[in-house]
Amino acid sequence: MKHVQSLTCIRCGAEHAPRPDTCTCSQCGGLLEVVYDYASIRCSISRAILENRRDPSMWRYREFLPIAKESDPSGLRVGGSPLYKAVRLADHLGLAALYIKDDGINPTASLKDRPSAMAVVKAAEAGADTIACSSTGNAASSLAGNAAARGFKTYIFVPERAPKGKVAQLLMFGAQVVSVKGSYEDTFRLSAEAIQRWGWYNRNAAINPYLMEGKKTVSFEIAEQLNWQIPDYVAVSVGDGCTIAGVWKGFKDLYETDLIHKLPRLISVQAEGCCPINKAFSEGSSTLVPMEENTIADSIAVGVPRNFHKALRAIRESDGIAVNVSDGEILSAMQVLGKTCGVFGEPAGVTGTAGVIKALQLKLIPASASVVSLVTGNGLKDIAAAIRAAGAPICIEPDMGLLLQAFKARGVPF
């Protein structure tokens, strides 16, 4: 990997050789970051080269990804998700331009397929045969699916609260599933102990420095899909903080290699009931104060974010803003995205969009702005939440009289 300089500790600055199974800093235990030789990448990639590439998957950006030259990344088709211009929703909100990046169309229906595909390639490079992680649900189901496609065994730890759809995916992909009676924090701790004990390949968020590199490919796609015209803002729902840090790294990679000349400002969106990253950002603090995991958006109910520092740094560097939304606002965004765009997101999937709506109301962003909102997971994963957002259908005996009555009672036009 000539284009990768080192894995550098974000706490003490120690540099480590980029071995495929290196996780945290050997000196201080801090998180590592993949540092590239941008001069070398700049020589090997250009807009024109990318535009002529057929591969629509995340691996079309291989020059920017920390995988060995001889590595074969084939597996499920991850990435290449659509970017929709949300004309009706933008009009409805009075916003100049709004784009919805629907990452719920990935093979296991969330953005987490990007880091999981990366984890599987790195596990293969490391010669591992078993991969493990703890997850609020999507990291787990994406790992299980991407690993199944390449013949790896998986051990997965999820908190008991994980929605059934995600657990069904895990079981269907043949993972060994451990449902932990406790919070995500408890789940994470047990998985870390088990990984240490049995030496499995570690796909835990933030701990494995390569995962974020998979996530950043979403930003490359946004830039290409907008014909390299970078939006003013990109809204991201935030739990552990790996996604927002990855989104930022992607734009910075493009900037460092002269493929773009402007950087977007990040909108970090968390749930009011669990917003430790936004809280620290708003208070200008760099100390993590754990919070309860109290929100319907299970994928971002993370009381002790694993990527706290990189996430904070990303929001600050981008001159970003932080917005917290209530569960009611999340459910309402779910319905409005469905109705105006035909995009069905899970609660955490639409939290970014809920944040855009709220930021406009609070005048934190101007109506003249162009905004990309990431939809990070598909709504079919959590049907109970969807039905809470949308309500029940008309349910009657098969009789025209009853149908007329029901239409009148509900004010349905006919």
Ligand X SMILES: *Cc1c(COP(=O)(O)O)cnc(C)c1O
For binding to ligand X (CB under 6 A), which residues are involved? 110, 112, 138, 205, 237-243, 299-300, 302, 346, 348-349, 376-377
With CB under 5 to 8 Å by kind, the binding choice for 237 among ligand X, Zn ion, none is: ligand X
Q: Closer CB to Zn ion, residue 12 or residue 402?
A: 12
Q: Which residues contact 253 (CB under 8 A, 6 or more apart)?
A: 36, 38, 41, 64, 216, 219, 220
With CB under 5 to 8 Å by kind, the binding choice for 299 among Zn ion, ligand X, none is: ligand X
Smallest gap from Cβ 334 to ligand X, in A, equals 12
Smallest gap from Cβ 206 to ligand X, in A, equals 8
Identify which range of 2-10, 77-85, 144-152, 351-359 contacts Zn ion by CB under 5 A. 2-10
Task: Decide: is 14 part of the binding site for Zn ion (CB under 5 A).
Answer: yes
Smallest gap from Cβ 313 to Zn ion, in A, equals 15
Q: Closer CB to ligand X, residue 202 or residue 257?
A: 202
Q: What is the distance between the alpha carbons of residues 214 and 251, in angstroms, rounded to a whole number?
A: 13
Smallest gap from Cβ 303 to ligand X, in A, equals 12
Q: Closer CB to ligand X, residue 8 or residue 110?
A: 110
Smallest gap from Cβ 199 to ligand X, in A, equals 25
With CB under 5 to 8 Å by kind, the binding choice for 375 among ligand X, Zn ion, none is: none
Helix H, strand E, coil C: the string for the chain is CCCEEEEEECCCCCEECCCCCCCCCCCCCCCEEEEECHHHHHHHCCHHHHHCCCCCCHHHHHHHCCCCCCCCCCCCCCCCCCEEECHHHHHHHCCCEEEEEEHHHCCCCECCHHHHHHHHHHHHHCCCCEEEEECCCHHHHHHHHHHHCCCCEEEEEEECCCCHHHHHHHHHCCCEEEEECCCHHHHHHHHHHHHHHHCCEECCCCCCCCHHHHHCHHHHHHHHHCCCCCCCEEEEECCCCHHHHHHHHHHHHHHHCCCCCCCCEEEEEEECCECHHHHHHHHCCCCCCCCCCCCCCHHHCCCCCCCHHHHHHHHHHCCCEEEEECHHHHHHHHHHHHHHHCCCECHHHHHHHHHHHHHHHCCCCCCCCEEEEEECEEHHHCHHHHHHHHCCCCCCCCCHHHHHHHHHHHCCCC
With CB under 5 to 8 Å by kind, the binding choice for 30 among Zn ion, ligand X, none is: Zn ion
With CB under 5 to 8 Å by kind, the binding choice for 312 among Zn ion, ligand X, none is: none
| Interface map 140-179 toward Zn ion (x if CB under 5 A) | ----------------------------------------
Task: Decide: is 12 part of the binding site for Zn ion (CB under 5 A).
Answer: yes
Of 4, 7, 9, 170, the residue at the interface with Zn ion (CB under 5 A) is 9
Residue nearest to ligand X (CB): 377
With CB under 5 to 8 Å by kind, the binding choice for 14 among Zn ion, ligand X, none is: Zn ion
Q: Closer CB to Zn ion, residue 9 or residue 132?
A: 9
Total residues contacting Zn ion by CB under 5 A comes to: 8
| Interface map 20-49 toward Zn ion (x if CB under 5 A) | -----x-xx-x-------------------
Q: Closer CB to Zn ion, residue 29 or residue 342?
A: 29
Q: Closer CB to Zn ion, residue 14 or residue 105?
A: 14
> Which residues form the interface with Zn ion (CB under 5 A)?
9, 11-12, 14, 25, 27-28, 30
